Amino acid sequence: MPELPEVETTLNGVKPHLQSQKITLVTVRQARLRWLIPENLAEILQNQKFKGFRRRAKYLIFEFDHGELIIHLGMSGRLSVLPHFVEAQKHDHVDFQLQNGKVLRYTDPRRFGAILWHENKLIAHKLLAHLGPEPLSEEFDLEYLKPLLKKRQLTIKQVIMDAKIVVGVGNIYANEALFLTGIDPRRPANKISAKRVQKLIEMIKNVLHAAIKAGGTTLKDFYGVDGAKGYFVQQLHVYGRAGLPCNTCGKKIKSLMLGQRNTFYCSNCQR
DNA sequence: CAGCGCCCCTGCCCGC
DNA sequence: TGCGGGCAGGGGCGCT
For residue range A164-178, what is the model confidence (pLDDT) as tens digits? 999 999 999 999 999
DSSP assigned state of A49: B
Judge whether residue A220 has pLDDT over 90: no
* Nearest residue to C11 via alpha carbon and C1': A74
What's the mean pLDDT in A223-233? 82
H/E element holding A181? Answer: helix A171-181
Work out if A127's Cβ lies within 7 angstroms of strand C: yes
Bases of strand B lying below 7 A from some protein CB: 2-12
Q: Residue A2: its pLDDT value, please? A: 86
- CA dist A108 and A183 (Å) reads 34
- CA dist A81 and A175 (Å) reads 31
Q: Residue A144: its pLDDT value, please? A: 97
- Torsion over CA of A123, A127, A131 and A137, rounded to 10 degrees? -70
- Annotation marks residue A2 as catalytic: yes
